Amino acid sequence: MNRKRSKMKTEDMFSIIIPMHNAQEFILDALNSLEIQETKNFECLIIDDHSSDKSKKIVKNYQKKANFSIQLYETENEKWGPGAARNIGLSHAKGKYILFLDADDQLKDKNVVKKITEAIKKERNAEIILLGKKKVWYNYNGKIVKEKEYFPRPKQKEKSYQIGRNNEGIIWSYCWKKELFIKHKIQFPENTIWEDFIPKILLFSHANQENIIHLSYITHQYNIRPGKSIGTTPTLTKVKALIKIYHKCSHLIKEEKIEKKYRKELFWKMMQLPCVLGWMLNRAIIMKLLYLRRKRK
């Protein structure tokens, strides 16, 4: 385990949590994006989720030369998925704020940590910081076919928007105050995918509206590869995960786990989930037809 530490105070540090599963093709890009950060007030926690490739070996070799702290952990035998990995990361995190990064993505440039640090210094009570992202689409040959940048808008800071209208469940597009997880005992569902959907709702529900800010800066590069990114290929596992999310949202409303004024917003989100399911099934049919077409050729 790499013991190198930043000279900055622990309470000013970020914990960057990276779940990793068979990421030997991409994990170096993720680590290199941390290596180049001008501000080193962070630790990196990588949690290997039963990788069968050379991912762990690559990380261990990188630990020896890294100019920042890297800690490597593993999920337990009976647990799997990004949720299980993130829970382990949270249990070991020493930073005041949490950043999540997927093993096949990277921080956009060398100023990311610096920009977030500056934003927090301006808003000392910040609990959630909305971040900008760049989506990059690749074809089957690994070539970039499309790029698009997304900047957070002021209205997206509203709790009602995040709990209701925003159907994007990704957790890494935000910087989170660790206290939100600890104080409200928020953990990620394990042994499933799309594990960030419900925790994100709960985190926004418990945050103070005035302590939610946005940073108009691109911090993450989200790489979308056919067959490798969770959202690109419909499967039965994804259908089951979506159904679980629907029932969990219903439970949050019935058990009054969400403030009354936000329950209608969450109900609206629930009503959109069947549409997502329909889209997934339609996409699965189209992909099957395209596969059969290519096979005939």
φ, ψ (nearest 5 deg) of residue 218: -75, 120
Rounded CA separation 189/279 (Å)? 24
Question: Which class is 10-229 in CATH?
Answer: alpha beta
Q: Quick one: pLDDT at residue 115?
A: 97
Pull the structure tokens for residue 226: 């056919």
- Per domain, the residue ranges of the chain are 10-229, 233-297
Q: Under 8 Å CB-to-CB from 110, ≥6 apart: which residues?
A: 36, 37, 38
Burial degree of 153 (CB within 10 A; 0-12, 13-18, 19+): exposed
Instruction: Give the chain's mean pLDDT.
Output: 87
Question: Partners of 223 in the beta sheet?
Answer: 136
Instruction: Lowest mean pLDDT of 10-19, 65-74, 178-187, name the range.
Output: 10-19
Instruction: Give the tens place of pLDDT for each residue, 234-245.
Output: 567 777 777 888
Given a contact cutoff of 8 angstroms between Cβ atoms, the answer to whether 207 and 251 are in contact is no
Question: Partners of 73 in the beta sheet?
Answer: 47
Q: Quick one: pLDDT at residue 58?
A: 98
